[in-house]
Amino acid sequence: MYEHLKIEERGMVAIMTISAPKSLNALNSDILREIGEYLDEFDTQRFRCLIVTGDGEKSFVAGADISEMATLGPQQGEHFGRTGAEVFRQIETLPCPVIAAVNGFALGGGCELAMACDIRLCSDNARFGQPEVGLGIIPGFSGTVRLARLVGMGMAKQLIFTGKNIKADEALRIGLVNAVVPQAELMDKALEIANQICANAPLAVSAAKLCINTCYDMEAEDAIAFENHAFGMCFSTEDQKNGMQAFLTKGKCEFVGK
C-alpha cells in the first residue's frame, strides 16, 4: 500500500516504520505525503498507541532530503516546510499517544519528527542534531518551536546555532529523550510502554494528551478551566464508571473506549 512505510500491528499498538534505506530514511515529499495519508486513516478506535521508528539499525530519519531541497526557491521552500509542519502536527494532535523509537541518526527533520511524538526512546547509538544552519537554512517542520519547549531556550539556541550533533546520553541529560536503551532492546521497551498505555482508559489518555498539549501555553486560569472541563467530561464515559467500580470491588477493568 505504501512505498516508503512499513505498517505492523501488535494488538492495540500500531508500528509505523519509515523505510528509505538508500537515503538513511531521509524525508522527501513522497514520504511526508504517505505519513499524512496513513495518519488520516489511522483507526483510533482500534489502536491505542502508535510507535514511529526507522528502518535498519543506523538511522531513525537522517533529515529531510537535501537533494530535493537544493533546487527550491523561497515559495517552494516555504511550501515544503509547511508540508512537513502540517504532517508533524498531525502526529502531535493524534488522539492516542505516539512513541518515537529512535534507532540511530535523528538529524534535522528526524529530530523534528521525534519531537512531534509524545514520548521519545532512543538506542544507545542514537545521534540527535539540528544541522540546518550549516546548509544555509533553519530547522523547519516546527523544529525551532518544539526544541525550545523541550530543552529550554538556551540549550535550543546552542544546538541550533552550532549545528552540533549530540549523543544519546547528552540527549537524555537535557531532556530531549525519556530513556536510552541498548539497540537490541529498543522496540521491546517501546512496546512495553505502549502496552502500559493501552491497559488504561483510552478516552482518559486522549483527554490527558489534549490537556497537556493545549494548556502548555495558556494562562494558568484558562488552563485550569480547560482541564476542569475535560475532567468533568470523563465522568460521562462507561470507562469511568467501570474503572471506579472495579477499583472499589478490587476487580479488574477492561476498558472499552466508551
Question: Which H or E run contains 87?
Answer: helix 74-93
CATH code, domain carrying 101 = 3.90.226.10
pLDDT digits (tens, 9 = 90+) for 224-257: 999 999 999 999 999 999 999 999 999 999 999 9
- Residue 183 DSSP one-character state: G
Which of 198, 214, 232 is the C-terminal boundary of a domain?
A: 198
Residue 112 annotated in active site: yes
- Please tell me whether residues 72 and 22 are part of one structural domain: yes
Average pLDDT taken over every residue of the chain: 97
pLDDT class of 189 with cuts at 50, 70, 90: very high
- Please tell me whether residues 206 and 189 are part of one structural domain: no
- Please tell me whether residues 34 and 69 are part of one structural domain: yes
pLDDT class of 17 with cuts at 50, 70, 90: very high
Kindly tell me if the per-residue pLDDT of 100 is higher than 90: yes
Contacts of 15 (CB under 8 A, 6+ apart): 7, 8, 9, 50, 51, 53, 187
**By mean pLDDT, which of 49-53, 64-68, 86-90 is the weakest?**
64-68
> Which structural domain, as residue segments, surrounds residue 226?
202-248
Residue 132 annotated in active site: yes
Burial level of 143, CB count in 10 A (0-12/13-18/19+)?
buried
Give how far the C-alpha of residue 17 lies from the chain's centroid of Cα atoms, to the nearest Å. Answer: 13
Q: How many CB atoms lie within 10 A of CB 44?
A: 15
Tell me the mean pLDDT in the region 36-65.
96
Burial level of 250, CB count in 10 A (0-12/13-18/19+)?
exposed
Kindly tell me if the per-residue pLDDT of 11 is higher than 90: yes
Kindly tell me if the per-residue pLDDT of 58 is higher than 90: yes
For the chain, the domain total comes to 2
Cα 133 from Cα 149, distance rounded (Å)? 20
pLDDT digits (tens, 9 = 90+) for 104-121: 999 999 999 999 999 999
Percent of the chain at pLDDT > 90 equals: 98
Does 253 reside within a domain?
A: no
The residue annotated as part of the active site, out of 92, 112, 170, 227, is 112
Kindly tell me if the per-residue pLDDT of 127 is higher than 90: yes
Cα 123 from Cα 190, distance rounded (Å)? 11
Kindly tell me if the per-residue pLDDT of 198 is higher than 90: yes
pTM for this prediction: 0.96
Place of cell 526512546: 121
Q: What is the pLDDT of residue 1?
A: 82
- Please tell me whether residues 158 and 173 are part of one structural domain: yes
Cα 186 from Cα 57, distance rounded (Å)? 10
- Please tell me whether residues 151 and 221 are part of one structural domain: no
The residue annotated as part of the active site, out of 8, 68, 92, 132, is 132
Cα 130 from Cα 113, distance rounded (Å)? 12
pLDDT digits (tens, 9 = 90+) for 159-171: 999 999 999 999 9
Tell me the mean pLDDT in the region 185-201.
98
